[in-house]
Amino acid sequence: MTVKSRFLELLEQNKGEVISGEAAAEKLQCTRAAIWKAAKALRGEGYEIDAAQNRGYRLSPGLSPISAEAFKLHLKTQGISVKVFDELDSTNRQARRELMDGTIDSEGVVIARSQKEGRGRRGRTFFSPEGGLYLSVILRPETTMQQSLILTTAAATAVFLAVRDVCKVDLSIKWVNDLYLDSRKVCGILTEAITNFETGDIEYAIVGIGLNLKFQEPVPVELQEKIGELTNPEGEQIDPNRLGAAIVDHLLEEVQRTEVSEIYREHNMIPGHRIHILDGERSRDAKALSINSDGTLVVEEADGTEKTLFYGEVSVVPTKE
Ligand code: BTN
């Protein structure tokens, strides 16, 4: 670990308190000049560090940018690798690259402060400017492609629980894996897998989660009515380090399930509603009936027949009744 990284860890551990240059240098076994240099570099990265009238350094008690150091302080799960990048094409792509070249070979988290080509479902792009939370969790689930829907519903449950803990807000889940606040989408999830071709087993799952917190760029016109920002009920900004860590902790617990959680069913906005089913270029109307324990959705088609939908096939949109 570099001096900069260890100094940031020390500042995050003592957020809002003054640490003298001397004490920091002694703790990190380096010179005071090295501490000064680290503080300068961190300020350049957006950390608010006051020089506290030459008494020492103090990290502002306000929100800090996402960093592996702050993220790990909030993470209860031990021994998992956490990597933070300033900008990536896509955290899901980076996770796949790192698995392929052997940089990562176990569970881990890849985070970016912004994404140039955030990947959404059905080949769409995910708007990912600075100010959001974009992370991919690499898992080694003992599951097959047939049971993979449970992973996606587990991710939605984990986001729901983490947002409830950290933001004190209950989101609505839209089958299969979008989360909404007051009819605006605030979170999207894209789960991708690396499979063993012969057995059909999932060797690695990459669970990509994107949350809209505070956009630092104008929202494209076509998204303005559709997406929203997640805040607490007072409208205050959310700490991305705390929220991200809570999501990872909940996700590692939720993926142990073999059936969809009660939370996922209870807070799902789809069952009981009329929906549009978008199937490739075609769309049709139906009524959503219920969610099976394997995560599939049971619908009643216009001709009265029941059909079970697996998420890869369709995307559903509630209609205004
Ligand atoms: C969707 O709503 O269509 C799914 C969006 C998933 C976006 C997240 S952001 C982090 C991870 N990296 C990506 O490229 N995509 C996912």
- If phi > 0 it is left, if psi is from -120 to 50 it is alpha, else beta; for residue 57 that is beta
Separation of alpha carbons 319 and 71, rounded Å: 39
Write down the H helix ranges in the chain: 3-13, 21-28, 32-44, 68-74, 91-100, 149-167, 240-254, 262-266
Rounded CA separation 52/58 (Å): 7
Query: Using CA atoms, how far apart are residues 124 and 26, in angstroms rounded to an integer?
Result: 51
Report the alpha-carbon distance of residue 307 to residue 88 in Å, rounded.
40
Q: How close is the Cα of 120 to the center of ligand 1, in Å? A: 5
Ligand 1 center to residue 23 CA distance, Å? Answer: 42
CB 82 within 8 A of CB 257: no
Residues with CB under 6 A from ligand 1: 90-92, 115, 118-121, 124, 126, 128, 134-136, 178, 188-190, 208-210
Question: Which positions of the chain have pLDDT values less than 50?
Answer: none
At 293 the pLDDT is: 94
**Would strands 282-291 and 297-301 be described as parallel, antiparallel, or unpaired?**
antiparallel
**Does the reported pTM lie above 0.85?**
yes
* Closest atom, ligand 1, to C-alpha of 120: 3
- Quickly count: other Cβ atoms within 10 Å of residue 282's Cβ: 8
d(CA 230, CA 248): 18
Share of the chain above pLDDT 90, in %: 74
Closest ligand 1 atom, residue 132 Cα: 9
How far is it, in rounded angstroms, from Cα 138 to Cα 99?
Answer: 9
Note the pLDDT of residue 52.
Answer: 64
| Ligand 1: nearest atom to the Cα of 135 | 10
- Give residue 2 CA to ligand 1 midpoint distance, Å: 31
The set of residues, in sequence order, having a beta carbon less than 8 Å from that of 20 and lying 6+ positions away, is: 55, 56, 57
Q: Which pLDDT belongs to residue 224?
A: 94
CB-based contact 179:162 (threshold 8 Å): no
> For residue 155, how far is its CA from the centre of ligand 1 (angstroms)?
12
- Residue 113 parent element (H or E): strand 108-115
Annotate 61-78 with DSSP letters as a single string. Answer: SSPPPP-HHHHHHH--S-
- pLDDT at site 185: 96
Q: Which of 209, 223, 248, 316 best tests ligand 1's pocket when mutated (most atoms within 8 Å of CB)?
A: 209
In this prediction, residue 313 carries a pLDDT of: 56
Distance 27 CA to ligand 1 centre (A): 40
Helical (H) or strand (E) element with 284: strand 282-291
Q: What is the pLDDT of residue 209?
A: 98
